[in-house]
Structure 1
Amino acid sequence: MIQPAELVSFLSFLQKIQPLTPSALEAIYSLCSLIAVRKNQNLQEIGMRCKTIYFVKEGLARIFYLKGGNEVTEYFAFENDLIIRAESLFTGKPSLKAIQALEDTVFIGIPADQLFSLFDTFPQIERLFRKIIEQAYVHTVNRMETIQFHSAEERYAQLVEEKPNLIQRIPLKYIASYLGITQVSLSRIRASIR
Structure 2
Amino acid sequence: MKLLEKISKYSIIDEVTEDFFRNETQTKTFQKGELLSQQNTYNRNVYYMEKGLARTFYFEKGKDITTNFYSEEKSFANIDTVFNNVPSYYNIETLEESIVTFCDYKKLEELCSISLPSANFSRFLLGNLMTQMTKRINSLQHMTAKEKYIQLLEENPNIILRAPLGMIATYLGISQETLSRIRSEI
TM-score (norm: length of structure 1): 0.92
Partners of 2:175 and 2:99 in 1: CA distance? 30
- 8 Å Cα contact 1:28-1:115 kept in structure 2: no
- 8 Å Cα contact 1:64-1:97 kept in structure 2: yes
Q: Paired residue for 1:138?
A: 131
* Alignment pair present for 1:35 and 2:28: yes
Farther-moved stretch of structure 1 (34-43 vs 144-153): 34-43
One-letter amino acid of the structure 2 residue matched with residue 165 of structure 1: N
- Supply the RMSD in Å over aligned alpha carbons: 1.2
Partners of 1:165 and 1:52 in 2: CA distance? 27
Aligned partner (choices 107, 121, 141) of residue 100 of structure 2: 107
Aligned partner (choices 152, 177, 181) of residue 184 of structure 1: 177
TM-score (norm: length of structure 2): 0.95
One-letter amino acid of the structure 2 residue matched with residue 135 of structure 1: N
One-letter amino acid of the structure 1 residue matched with residue 4 of structure 2: L
* Alignment pair present for 1:169 and 2:143: no
Aligned partner (choices 144, 153, 161) of residue 151 of structure 1: 144
Partners of 1:99 and 1:108 in 2: CA distance? 14
Q: Residue 23 of structure 1: CA displacement?
A: 3.4
One-letter amino acid of the structure 1 residue matched with residue 57 of structure 2: F
- 8 Å Cα contact 1:38-1:101 kept in structure 2: yes
Deviations 1:152-173 (A, max 9, x none): 0011011112211111111111
- Equivalences for 1:1-194 in 2 at 5 Å? 7=1, 9-193=2-186
Partners of 1:40 and 1:152 in 2: CA distance? 27
Farther-moved stretch of structure 1 (117-126 vs 94-103): 117-126
Paired residues in the alignment total 186
Q: Residue 79 of structure 1: CA displacement?
A: 1.0
Partners of 1:109 and 1:140 in 2: CA distance? 21
Q: Paired residue for 1:4?
A: none
Q: Residue 120 of structure 1: CA displacement?
A: 2.2
Deviations 1:144-187 (A, max 9, x none): 10111110001101111221111111111111011000111100
- 8 Å Cα contact 2:80-2:89 kept in structure 1: no
Farther-moved stretch of structure 1 (100-109 vs 34-43): 34-43
